[in-house]
A and B are shown apart, each in its own frame.
Chain A
């Protein structure tokens, strides 16, 4: 059991079960410090129009720290857009993996299940390693896995909401059936949410806002690293069952009569 501390994702052997999103940081320096404190080996990035005036690049930070860059299709609302964006990312970065997002609604940023399946199928056919951001829906997760996705990444609650895991039972169902890694992908607000994700059996946690928008991003990144480790260890350790009534921990025998 103890040597299951590393895990494999898309052909990579990873020591850290925390994946950091690069969005929302106030500066590249904040991102750099948080990335170091998080221990993350993967950093997600978005594809946007080139602005020659912008100073520095998220790619420089990733390279400096030896962290792999995982492009996403954030902001795409159709399968077509998502596929094009993934193809552009592959061209730009020379990587064939993608965090697939097909967003159905601006207010909730929930995935569009139909568009997501369509895009996943096209990208797998095109040779991509597809890591889909998905609803906390066990059936959809199964469909994505059967299409050949390399992981399933269910949301805990809406992106950036900090609401934690609203439906832990569904996350448990997804974990039970999955034969690919399950990565809790959105809604984490604080350390206990990340621990819960791991205690539910997720293989890893992906988060951005909880760290990048915290008052002290580097400190929260450290908290998340510890929380993911703690939650994973607790899962491996095998927790005691939840009981309605007390179970004394001191022996009944040998009690004095006073």
Chain B
């Protein structure tokens, strides 16, 4: 199936969870200070393992950057 992670369409297995997709995006880099919105709704980190992303859904993975 295809999902949209940070604006990019990516291929993922059926039933992939938020935790898996975040892990893949991080690709071994730290990952502290990260938050996630699925279809615009904030999902707490404690729910990442249990939350399945459905085909076509938009996942935003954010962190703190220089700004303001």
Contact = CB atoms under 8 A, between A and B. Distances in A.
Contacts of B60: 49, 88
Interface stretch (B12-20, B21-29, B49-57): B21-29
Contact of A45 (B29, B34, B42, B66): B66
A21 interface: yes
A88 B42 CA distance: 6
A27 to B, nearest CB: 10
B42 A44 contact: no
Contact of A25 (B6, B35, B45, B66): B66
Interface stretch (A67-75, A114-122, A219-227, A242-250): A67-75
Contacts of A25: 66
Contacts of B44: 91
B8 to A, nearest CB: 10
Q: Looking at B34, B37, B42, B65, which has the most chain A CB atoms within 10 Å of its CB? A: B65
Nearest to A69: B64
Contacts of A93: 33, 64
B64 to A, nearest CB: 4
B49 to A, nearest CB: 15
A173 B43 CA distance: 42
Contacts of A23: 66-68
A71 B45 contact: no
A48 interface: yes
Contact of B65 (A52, A58, A101): A58
B35 to A, nearest CB: 4
A24 B67 CA distance: 7
A46 B68 contact: yes
A58 B66 CA distance: 6
A125 to B, nearest CB: 16
A22 interface: yes
Nearest to B8: A49
Q: Which 9 A-B pairs give the minimum distances between C-beta atoms?
A: A46-B67, A92-B35, A91-B35, A72-B68, A88-B35, A45-B64, A48-B65, A44-B68, A23-B67
Interface of A: 21-25, 28, 31, 44-50, 52, 57-59, 69, 71-72, 74-75, 84, 87-93, 99, 101, 208
26 contacts: A23-B67, A45-B64, A45-B66, A46-B65, A47-B64, A48-B67, A49-B62, A50-B6, A50-B34, A50-B62, A52-B26, A52-B27, A59-B33, A69-B64, A84-B37, A84-B42, A88-B62, A89-B35, A91-B35, A91-B36, A91-B44, A92-B34, A92-B64, A93-B33, A93-B64, A101-B68
